[in-house]
Amino acid sequence: MILDRFSVAGKVAIVTGAGLGIGRGIALGLAEAGADVALAARTESDLEEVAAQVRSLGRRALVLPTDVTDATACERLVTRTVEEFGRLDILVNNAGGAMPRAAMDTSEGFMERTFAFNVTAPLTLTKLAARQMVDTVGRGAVVNISSRSASMTQTMFVAYGAAKAALDRMTRNIAPELAPRVRVNAIDVGGVATRSLDIVLTDDTLRQQFIDGTPMRRPGEPEDIACAVLYLASDASSWVTGKVFEIDGGTEAPAMVVPVAPLEPTPGGDA
């Protein structure tokens, strides 16, 4: 049966950023499809709530508070998962993000922290996980959660957009090195109805502007992303690696534009 290829029954997944929003939706989606899940994020109370839901689905859950920008914490996350479950099949690098910031206000430190969170951390976890996947099961799948900011021109997102573009490039470049045993793909996510989009979705004017700019006329839901993750993590995509999938409601341009003050001469300057 073709549907059997979408099953992840008996497999073990690590999901970072699993306490809220997209990560929570991915963790629950994988559990519904049969996986046991190691849940990683900074806030333990959020993870405990998700773990209770995973267990209610009849699957095992492991709560591991983790700062993914700490390489030692990443190593502990992977090691503890294998110790608990005896194997590792799936890694979803979902943790990431950065607040909007105008280019002229973006410091070197902000840029470095954004890249550490969105690029270096996924690379670190991918290397650790790939080794355990091959050693415990013989194969596995990595899914990187990226953003349409990687390929769209957006004001206020110079750091975030550059970091997610780097994550997409990293996905493509590492895939042939880990193939055929470990597949690596990414999802460029559009506007999803999570806490980060609340400022838009709770304002009638902004919400309508967002919907008008989205061909599918609605924001995404975490389950929309979870469905794509399930495809890429399961045997349904066994001939797919090094690809970046756009799950974005059909957008080809930003649904909204964040205004930025124009660059003007410094008062008292010569211009």
pLDDT in tens, 26-83: 999 999 999 999 999 999 999 999 999 999 999 999 999 999 999 999 999 999 999 9
Most confident of 74-83, 209-218, 253-262: 74-83
Q: What average pLDDT does the structure give for the chain?
A: 95
Q: What percent of the chain has pLDDT over 90?
A: 85
* From 160, 210, 231, 245, active-site residue: 160
Q: What would the DSSP string read from start to end of 34-102?
A: T-EEEEEES-HHHHHHHHHHHHHTT--EEEEE--TT-HHHHHHHHHHHHHHHS---EEEE-------B-
Lowest mean pLDDT among 80-84, 200-204, 219-223: 200-204
Instruction: State how far the Cα of 92 lies from the Cα of 142, in Å rounded to an integer.
Output: 6
131, 87 Cβ separation under 8 angstroms = no
In the predicted model, what is the mean pLDDT of residues 150-164? 95
Q: What angle do CA 95, 96, 101 make, to 5 degrees?
A: 160
The reported pLDDT for the residue numbered 190 is 92
DSSP β-bridge partners for residue 189: 147, 247
Lowest mean pLDDT among 28-37, 137-146, 188-197: 188-197
The reported pLDDT for the residue numbered 259 is 87
The reported pLDDT for the residue numbered 271 is 62
pLDDT surpasses 90 at 205 = no
Strands in 140-147's sheet, in edge-to-edge order, are: 61-65, 36-41, 12-16, 90-93, 140-147, 182-189, 244-247
Query: What would the two tokens of residue 57 be?
Result: 């689905």
Instruction: State how far the Cα of 54 lies from the Cα of 33, in Å rounded to an integer.
Output: 11
Instruction: State how far the Cα of 69 lies from the Cα of 256, in Å rounded to an integer.
Output: 30
Question: What band does 183 get if pLDDT is binned at 50, 70 and 90?
Answer: very high
Q: Identify the three-state secondary structure at position 187.
A: strand
pLDDT surpasses 90 at 266 = no
The reported pLDDT for the residue numbered 224 is 97
Q: What angle do CA 146, 124, 47 make, to 5 degrees?
A: 70
pLDDT in tens, 119-128: 999 999 999 9
In the predicted model, what is the mean pLDDT of residues 238-262? 92
DSSP β-bridge partners for residue 62: 38
| pTM of the shown model | 0.95
pLDDT surpasses 80 at 270 = no
The reported pLDDT for the residue numbered 200 is 83
Q: Tell me whether residue 160 is one of the annotated catalytic residues.
A: yes
Instruction: State how far the Cα of 98 lies from the Cα of 173, in Å rounded to an integer.
Output: 24
